[in-house]
Structure 1
């Protein structure tokens, strides 16, 4: 997997098109969830893209503290459907945490997770901090990972790697 990290202004037109296409393909079409995918937050995010054989198959957007939440944040976590059984989701979260630690050392990370994925995120040290709530018709929860957990995880390879 080839990982590329870019700000919005560093993205090429083809990269922007590919990441928006992947997000719509999964979050809008596959999950049958019409919502405002283009939300004016991409301009401040740092975009983490995972390529295999020239094809974008994994993506997340990263925010430093104060850009989306008070905490640092990982959002739009996505792996292309045909590639979900190969551990790329774990690699994507590991890369996202690693790059956020570089962008915002010792920051707490907050995520808004689809509820059915909470065990996956807990395996990376995220803890549930909210009740289940509906977001665009899908059950979600808020989770955080503290900087103390970050230091421990960055120095200990994840079991699913």
Structure 2
């Protein structure tokens, strides 16, 4: 059973949803990946937030930006699946929802992402193509990828 997906602007998020998002991002990006960085970057207010809940627990999340805000094209970022739900392969569901969200809300088909290098094949399976050499972002190897 797939999680229930919602796409909301920042202002429409409840206090509990904001807490759930920040908690999940901290658990994975900072603690699990052992990476000290400024996750609260002042960009959440400009993003659309894709939340995937399963039994009232945030299972997966990402944020969407229109063209010109983060990259020249629309973008998807902070793509995350809680560790206990990864075996369900909900990252693929999340990416399908995110791509559809960019198309539905921004009317864009071109999408740029800054992907962690180890997830290159995952993003390629969703139509993304590498467009840069590897670079370090917060001491983690990344690669820029584009779709459309």
- Structures share a fold, TM > 0.5? yes
What SS does the corresponding residue of 1:22 show, helix, strand or coil?
helix
1:26 aligns to what SS in structure 2? helix
Report what 1:49 is aligned to. Answer: 51
Q: How does 1:68-87 map to 2 (within 5 A)?
A: 68-87=70-89
Determine whether 1:141 maps to 2:143. yes
Task: State the aligned residue count.
Answer: 146
Secondary structure, aligned partner of 1:144: strand
Equivalent position of 1:155 in the other structure: none
Matched with 1:67 is 69
| 1:109 matches 2:129 | no
In the alignment, does 2:23 pair up with 1:27? no
RMSD of equivalent CA atoms: 0.7
Stretches of structure 2 lacking an aligned partner (at least 5 in a row): none
Matches of 1:87 and 1:98, distance apart in 2:
18
For structure 1, the 5+ residue unaligned runs are 147-161
Runs of 4+ in 1 over 4 A off after TM superposition: none
**CA deviation profile, 1:6-57 (whole Å, cap 9, x unmatched):** 1010011110010000001100000000000000000000000000000001
Under a length normalisation based on structure 1, what TM-score does the superposition of the two structures give? 0.89
1:17 aligns with 2:24: no
Task: Give the Å deviation of 1:105.
Answer: 1.9
